[in-house]
Amino acid sequence: MVTSLDDLPIRDDLRGRSPYGAPQKTVPVALNVNENSHPIPEDVAHDIVARVAAAILTLNRYPDREFTALRRALAGYLGHGLDPAQIWAANGSNEVLQQVLQAYGGPGRSVLGFAPTYSMYGLLASGTGTEWITAGRDDGFELSTATAVAAVHEHDPDIVMLCAPNNPTGTPVSIETIEAVADAARGIVVVDEAYFEFADPGTPSALTLLAGRPRLLVSRTMSKAFAFAGARVGYLAGDPAAIDALRLVRLPYHLSALTQAAALGALAHATEMLAMVDEIRVQRERISDELARLGFRPYRSGSNFVLFGGVADPRGVFEQLLERGILIREIGIPGHLRVTAGTEAETTAFLEAIAVSAPNRMTP
């Protein structure tokens, strides 16, 4: 009888590994996976439902394999003079990144990241047989140009992953660092801008660096700022030739007609959908200010979450908050926890609960 994975003939390099997974619990205040907790505006929801309903009438046919209308809409949303031929999309940015690794990574090739960073990078590398290499960051989880470029020169990877802003730390990455890495690397450089919309206004995007750099790819998602996590829509901008390579590894008709219709509906209301971003920034700064006042160490964040240190017993604080119906995230960094910036009410609930935990849980 098969009782565990060890009894199955899985690949040797997958043995002993654990799948990605954040805790999924039903609680009044879920602030653990960086979702946008603001609901989709009702009028937008009605339009999306109407578009999906129309698409249902065509489900006897395969969807547009090249998702032409969606690519056009995404190019329009991103701006920067991008053409639809420079856009790719898939079922969440994780699938986009997986396709990049399938096309440009693989056995005998390597991908470099800067730890701590998004844990899926290593898992995607493993799943595609790509060697996962990590380099360190500077103090406070920052990433200077010198540190990043030195790691590129040392490891000479086939792919570089720059998470900007970084997950799980929230740390912004300067456009100067991104440009220097793109120019120093011989292979593909992926800038993961999943949280870019939450960056301080005026922050330049890596999209400004695409011209003349055919090996630079910029990944985005609709999960965060668009409050579209359940729809699973991620996308990428790059040189048309670099996009063509992704066609070699994508599954046929990988974006369903329903997904395309829903995404087009959301993008048609982009201004309204993104109106909540400013409020999320307000709550992020409120969390940082109050955590600092309580004696914790919040780190600089350009995302919709705050990483904070100075926690003597992260598991104890996590459990204490969970008892009060508040779910945040242990991210494996000793003495640290991470919390998503939710609605004003959710933020208040978290801050009131963490204030009770603070006196007995902070490091000396």
Phi, psi of 182, deg, nearest 5: -60, -35
> In this predicted structure, what is the pLDDT of residue 47?
97
> In this predicted structure, what is the pLDDT of residue 150?
98
Domain ranges across the chain: 22-40+275-361, 42-268
> In this predicted structure, what is the pLDDT of residue 118?
97
Answer yes or no: CATH 3.90.1150.10 is held by domain 22-40+275-361.
yes
> In this predicted structure, what is the pLDDT of residue 185?
98
Answer yes or no: CATH 3.40.640.10 is held by domain 42-268.
yes
> In this predicted structure, what is the pLDDT of residue 23?
62
Residues in the chain: 364
Measure CA of the first residue to CA of the last residue in the chain; give whole Å.
52
> Per-10-residue mean pLDDT for the chain, 364 residues long?
75 78 77 92 96 98 97 98 98 98 98 97 96 98 98 98 97 98 98 97 97 97 95 97 97 97 97 93 98 96 97 94 95 96 97 82 56
Neighbour tally for 223: CB within 10 Å: 23
What does the CA dihedral 50, 55, 58, 60 come to, rounded to 10 degrees? -120
Question: Do 90 and 99 contact (CB within 8 A), yes or no?
Answer: yes
3-state secondary structure the chain: CCCCHHHCCCCHHHCCCCCCCCCCCCCCEECCCCCCCCCCCHHHHHHHHHHHHHHHCCCCCCCCCCCHHHHHHHHHHHCCCCCHHHEEEECCHHHHHHHHHHHHCCCCCEEEEECCCCHHHHHHHHHCCCEEEEECCCHHHCCCHHHHHHHHHHHCCCEEEEECCCCCCCCCCCHHHHHHHHHHCCCEEEEECCCHHHCCCCCCCHHHHCCCCCCEEEEEECCCCCCCHHHCCEEEECCHHHHHHHHCCCCCCCCCHHHHHHHHHHHHCHHHHHHHHHHHHHHHHHHHHHHHHCCCEECCCCCCEEEEECECCHHHHHHHHHHCCEECECCCCCCCEEEECCCHHHHHHHHHHHHHHHHHHECC
> In this predicted structure, what is the pLDDT of residue 359?
62
> In this predicted structure, what is the pLDDT of residue 8?
82
Residue 1 one-letter amino acid: M
> In this predicted structure, what is the pLDDT of residue 361?
57
> In this predicted structure, what is the pLDDT of residue 230?
94
Closest CA to 304 of 196, 232, 143: 196
Q: How far apart are CA 216 and CA 206, in angstroms?
A: 9
Check residue 131 and give left, alpha or beta (phi > 0: left; psi -120 to 50: alpha). beta
Question: Do 340 and 32 contact (CB within 8 A), yes or no?
Answer: yes
> In this predicted structure, what is the pLDDT of residue 138?
98
Give CA angle at 302 (335, 19), nearest 5°.
55
> In this predicted structure, what is the pLDDT of residue 335?
95
Q: Exposed (0-12), middle (13-18) or buried (19+): which is 195, by Cβ within 10 Å?
A: buried
